[in-house]
Every structure is written in C-alpha cells, then in structure tokens.
Chains A and B, each alone.
Chain A
Amino acid sequence: MVIQRLKSLKELLQLKEELLGEYDSAKTRIRICTTGCRAKGALKVRDAFHQELGKDRSIEIVETGCQGLCAKAPVVSVDPDGIFYGGLTPEDVPEVISQTIRNKKIINKLCYSENKTVYPYIKDIPFFKAQEKIVLRNCGYINPTSLEDYIRRNGYVALIKIFRGLKPEDVIEQVTKSGIRGRGGAGFPTGLKWKFARQYQNATKYIICNADEGDPGAFMDRAVLEGDPHSVIEGLIIGAYAIGANHGYIYVRAEYPIAVEYSTLAIKQARERGFLGENILGSGFNFDITIKQGAGAFVCGEETALIASIEGRRGMPRPRPPFPAEAGLWGKPTVINNVETLANIPWIITQGGDAYAKFGTKGSKGTKVFALAGKVRNTGLVEVPIGMTLRQIIFDIGGGIPQDREFKAVQMGGPSGGCLPAEHLDTPIDYETIKEAGAIMGSGGMIVMDEVTCMVELARYFLDFCQKESCGKCVPCRIGTKRMLEIVTRFTSGQARQGDPLFPQ
C-alpha cells in the first residue's frame, strides 16, 4: 500500500472519516498486551491465539501496549463485551476461543477476583473503576504500531484546531489555563515554561521529550511510549509550534528496547503521513524529530545533563541559571518536557484547558499516572485525578498488601524522594502535600513496603544507588554519598560505633 502524505487539514479529516467508516465496533476483538506482559510470555499467548483462530477473519487480534493491571500478566481483553482475563498461558487459549469467544461463556479461573468476588468485566473491576484516563486514553486499546488506530481515536486532531486558528500564544494560554505541571518530577508549570521559551524571538529553538525514566519504580513513560507513541509526537508538534521550534528530540533510555522501537516507527509513520517534516498539513509549519538513545546514566534525567548527553558529552549537570529555556541545547532556547506531560497536551488542546483543570486540586490540576509496585497486590499503572488519598490508590485500586500484611510505608519520588508512613495514608496527595509530608511527587513511582521491609536497609539501598549513580562532578555528592553509605552500612551490618551519626548516646 502506498501511503499518501496528507497535504491539508481536509485530507486528515477525510482519512479519519474513512478509517471510522471501515471500522466495525461490533466485531469481536481480542486485545492482548505484547509490551510489558512479554516478561510473562505474552508473545507465546498471542501466537497461540493466531494458531487457534487460523484463517478465521471474523475475529481480530489487536496487539496493544500496557492495559494497566500488570500484576495479572499476561493480560487479554475481549471486545465488545469488555471481558478481562489475566495470567493466561498458551494452554488456556483453546478454551478462551471455544468458551468465551464462540459461546459467550465466562471462564472464572482467568478472571480478576478480589475478596472472593469474581469480576469478569472491566467496568466492574475496582482497579479500573476509580481511574480517569487522559494520558493513558489509548494505552491498551490501540495497536501502538498503527497510526490508523491513533487517528481513529482522535489522534492528530489537535493539529486541526491549532492550524485552523490558534496562534502559538493561544496554545500557551490553553496549556496555562489547564494548570498542568511538569510530570517529570519538579512540577514546574508547563505553560510558563513554554512562555519563557517563546519570548526569545528569531532564534533556533529546540524541544526535547525527556524519556530517560531513571527513577527506579517508575514505568509510566515506558508504558506511554510503548502503548501510544503518537500521542507524545503530537504533544511535541504542539509544543514546538507554541515555542517556535523546528526540531525536536526524544531522549529515551536504551534499557527500553520496545519503547525505542515503537517511537522510532511512529516518527517514521508520522513523517510519511505528513505530520512531521516540511509544511505540516499545508500549514507552513516545519518540524521534525530525532531519537537519541540514552546510554545508561541515571543523572541524564536531569535536564542540563540530558542536554550534555545529546551534545555527545559526559552527562554532567551544570548550575542554572541560565535555564534551558534561555540557553539549552547548543546554547539555544530549549524546552524539555516529560513524556507524560506531552501525552496530556493533545487532550488539553482538543478539550480545552478548562476541561483539564476540572480534575485535581487547587494547586495541582489534572490527572497523574502512578506506577504501583512493591508489596501491593495490583502492581501496574493507574491514572487518577490528583488529590486522591494514598489509601484509595494503594488499597481501593491497588487491592492492598499481599498476604494481608501490615502497610509500613510507600516510597515516592525515586532516590531523591522519600518514604511516607501509614500516618499519611489519608492525606489527599498533590505536589504540595507530598512535599510537606517529606517526599516528592517525582515521576509517580509508588513502591509499597510492608512490615517485613527494613527501613534502615532501604536507606542503605538508596545511598548505594546514589553513590553508584553520582556523576562525580561535585564533591558533596561524590564523596558525601560514599561516606554516608559507609556509615549506614555499618548500621546494617551491626558494626556501628560510638560517634556515628544517630548512634544512641
């Protein structure tokens, strides 16, 4: 099939109509996660489905990104009924086809169950019910390698709105109105960041997507790039238009091979269709994206270190100011946005900043994706309006602690974050309340710890991590983390001595 480059907004709308026209939503579709679930044999399950169905074209197998409930990997959803199965093996597949697909019978043993209640349907499962999906709106529903799937679900439609009459300033106004703050961790208002970069006129500018998700325990950026890469590309195009950049980068960790593969493919597709390149959709706007692979350095998630890495140097941060918005990549004004932030942008533009600001708390608008991991039953990805309590996330959505053990703490914000003990379970969480409680929102990793986790040992673990990942530029970090690690290691190995900090007097 020859892929036609779209030359105008009209052609995009036509294509969307055509794609919707030929789409039969009543058709039986088996959606199977073939990204994160690969670690539990999803590819073998997919092959089993193909083999079992043979030449039967009445049923479609859709390979998707993350569906959220990763604890049940490999997972499968059956549309249009909305049935959810987990923990499948290739041996289960013939039964799924003969019972569920052909005879509409539920197989209880594959269903999600909680407190002895079996939940066959997605709409009833407590894990999914309390969620509000904006960032993950397509994740797990579409085939991430299909541009057509993305367009069918309103993909690239924000560009129509922009090119038909939103000036860059109007775009920035909508983003400012939405109240969205950087999802990478620091929580700087995205609209303000764009405004700063916008004010430097007539210069070459850059926009960078930070996909160097280094915080251990965070995997939402990986899931977005693996499950819905075009949403990030669309976000980048909008950001570039707003600040006046003609070139962008996606800086993605090499440890995420599927994310690298899918985002590379998505860029190629976007170029073929005319969403990237010269004169995008006849608008006169030019923009293209290059992928840069990280090379395994935690510190490169920091924006100035990331810039150094793209420039081909050791990834060592430098003091700010000047901020990248003024002098970033090659000394030019540069905006760096996190994957999750960018995936929100197309939604904000199509629905309006006000619609986004309806979610969240006073100072922290919108939704946030959290990565639930550690000692929690439903490990996976959850997207909720900001302002939910930790109890709601960990117990209502997360299903609580395995073996009904006692909750001890939840670690948030990666190595520079902190641990929140049980007394904070009922705090509605937003950027400010988490900070007051002693942790940070960070990128949204939540690692739950139960009564058997030793907090002193965890402190030693984090110091070990920070010491290993220190870039070595500044003395307090290079030598300080080493000395702290030595002290805490003495405690964990029973060798602590008089004079050590915290040693009982």
Chain B
Amino acid sequence: MSEVDIRKIDQIIKRFPPHESNLLIPILQSVQEEFGYIPPESVKLISRHSKVSRNKIYGVLTFYAQFATTPRGKYVVRPCRGTACHVRGSASVIRYLKSKLKVEDGYTTTDNKFTLETVACLGACFLAPTMMVNHDYYGNLNDKKVEEILKTYR
C-alpha cells in the first residue's frame, strides 16, 4: 500500500466547518473522491474535526456501499444487478467480468487497474444489461461488448 499524504487529508477535511456531525458523509465522500477509498489514517483526523467518535465513523462508512476501506483500482467497473438487467442477462455479464478480470465482486485486480463493484441499480434500465466504468455508462451488454469496453481501458 502506498503512503497516504496526511496533509492532503487535512486540507480536504478543513474545507468543512468543524464540529458538524451532519457533514460526516460529505467529508467521507470528498476523501474517497480524492483517494478512491477512505484511508484508515483519515478516520482519526475526521473524528477530531467533526467531533464524531471513530467508532461511529466506522459505523457509517461500513454501512454505505459507496465507501471502501481499501484502495481501489484506477477504473471502477460497476455492472448493474437491477431487476431489468437481471431479466436481460446481467448474471452472465457479471460472470464474464469476474472471469476476465480474475477478481471476485468487491475486489481489485493485482495490477490495481480494475475494481469490480456490482451495484443495485444504475437507473439505466432501458438499456439493460448495463454497467458503468468510473463515470461512463455502457448499455445492451453482452460478453463481446464487455470485452471491447475493457480493452479501451487496458
């Protein structure tokens, strides 16, 4: 794991007014936006700034699917497992992704390039089955299309 720049974490946290427990989720989101995950080092700093106990912070960050506690890949691949995608074959898309990337759901490839993260619904049901790679949407997927899409990120 690479060293995390504590000053950088501090800078992000300081953008938010102190002692406001309601800002916990936005703070965590900003930290994750920067680092791709919530570095354990940041929890103590956030706790001090927001006056929320570390215990509670862990409670929140493990509750929400968005937050990761380990570094994620450069590209986060999010296949949708919503109902519309399910009836149009998302299970096979997810299976294919797992075999191509050689990772299980929630894990990152050894070269730190891809993280596979199945999501409940992307709201792009009209083009099922769908997935996102970082902020880009892809629809009407099949094995061949998935392979082509992955190629563009390799």
Contact A36 B63, beta carbon cutoff 8 Å = no
Q: Which of A315, A447, A449, A462 has the most CB of B within 10 A?
A: A447
Number of residues of chain B lying within 8 A (CB) of chain A:
44
Contact A39 B130, beta carbon cutoff 8 Å = yes
Q: Which residues of A contact B140 (CB under 8 A)?
A: 40
* B153: Cβ under 8 A from any A Cβ: no
* A285: Cβ under 8 A from any B Cβ: no
Given contacts A73-B139, A295-B25, A295-B66, contact A213 B123 (CB under 8 A): yes
Q: Which residues of A contact B126 (CB under 8 A)?
A: 36, 70-71, 73, 219, 371-373, 379-381
Contact B120 A461, beta carbon cutoff 8 Å = no
Name the residue on A nearest B117 (C-beta).
A296
Chain A residues touching B, majority SS: mixed
Kindly identify which residue among A312, A379, A449 contacts B125, using a CB–CB cutoff of 8 Å: A379
Q: Which residues of A contact B124 (CB under 8 A)?
A: 36, 39, 219
* B21: Cβ under 8 A from any A Cβ: yes
Q: Which residues of B contact A36 (CB under 8 A)?
A: 124, 126-127
Contact B127 A39, beta carbon cutoff 8 Å = yes
Contact B26 A293, beta carbon cutoff 8 Å = yes
Given contacts A38-B137, A40-B127, A447-B87, contact A312 B23 (CB under 8 A): yes
A44 CB → nearest B CB, Å:
12
Contact B22 A374, beta carbon cutoff 8 Å = no
Contact A295 B65, beta carbon cutoff 8 Å = yes
The CA of A379 and the CA of B81, in the complex, are separated in Å by 17
* A140: Cβ under 8 A from any B Cβ: no
* B150: Cβ under 8 A from any A Cβ: no
Q: Which residues of B contact A138 (CB under 8 A)?
A: none
* A95: Cβ under 8 A from any B Cβ: no
Q: A216-B85, A217-B82, A375-B88 are in contact. List 12 more A-B contacts (CB 8 A).
A: A38-B137, A214-B121, A216-B81, A216-B83, A219-B126, A254-B29, A297-B65, A312-B60, A315-B64, A371-B125, A447-B84, A471-B63
| Ranked 9 nearest A-B pairs via Cβ | A216-B82, A70-B126, A296-B65, A295-B64, A373-B84, A39-B137, A373-B125, A216-B121, A312-B24
Binding site for B on A (CB under 8 A): 36, 38-40, 70-71, 73, 213-219, 222, 253-257, 292-298, 309-315, 371-375, 379-381, 411, 414, 445, 447, 449, 453, 458, 461-462, 465, 468-469, 471
What are 23 sample pairs from A and B whose C-beta atoms fall under 8 A apart?
A38-B137, A71-B126, A73-B126, A214-B120, A216-B86, A217-B84, A254-B66, A292-B25, A294-B66, A296-B65, A297-B63, A298-B120, A312-B21, A315-B63, A373-B84, A374-B84, A374-B125, A379-B126, A381-B126, A445-B83, A447-B125, A465-B81, A469-B120
